[in-house]
Amino acid sequence: MGFKYESLYTNTSYAEHHKWIKHNCQPNYRKNVSPDPTKSCGPYKPTNDKDKLAYSDVAITDLPEKFSHKNAYHRNHDTIGMIVVDFENNISSGTSTNGANHKIPGFKSCIYSDYNFIIVQSEIEDEYVSQSFKQF
């Protein structure tokens, strides 16, 4: 079951990767890090505490306030996720990203759900946000 383990490198992707490194890892999507991501390949560190990974627990009742369309803007386009609850309270969930070239390693969108718990992890405004929701 699942995908066969195989290398995803091609001659083209290998050449593109080395060209990217030769040009100081440009383009990349890093912000608020040191050294300057427009001139260096890193390794990078956050420039302040606000930009470090943030994890929090949120109650289901907080969802409308925390995750509303008011927080959307033109850069919230590359990660999508859905949680669906059917009439028998079965939960199904899934996420996807756009696969941008040179995306920050480790930035991902993922979700886990079962009868008792939903965990969502995604990128929002270039930061990780992890939320845990108890089933309502």
pLDDT in tens, 17-30: 899 889 988 887 77
Q: Which residue has the higher pLDDT, 113 or 121?
A: 113
Mean pLDDT over each residue of the chain, to the nearest integer: 67
84-92 LR contacts (CB < 8 Å, sep 24+) = 89/115, 89/135, 91/115, 91/118, 91/135
Using CA atoms of 53, 97, 110, 136 in order, give the dihedral in degrees to the nearest 10.
Answer: 100
12, 38, 47, 79: which one is catalytic? 79
Look up 79 and say whether it is catalytic.
yes
**pTM recorded for the entire structure:** 0.44
pLDDT in tens, 8-54: 788 998 898 899 889 988 887 777 889 998 898 888 888 875 544 44
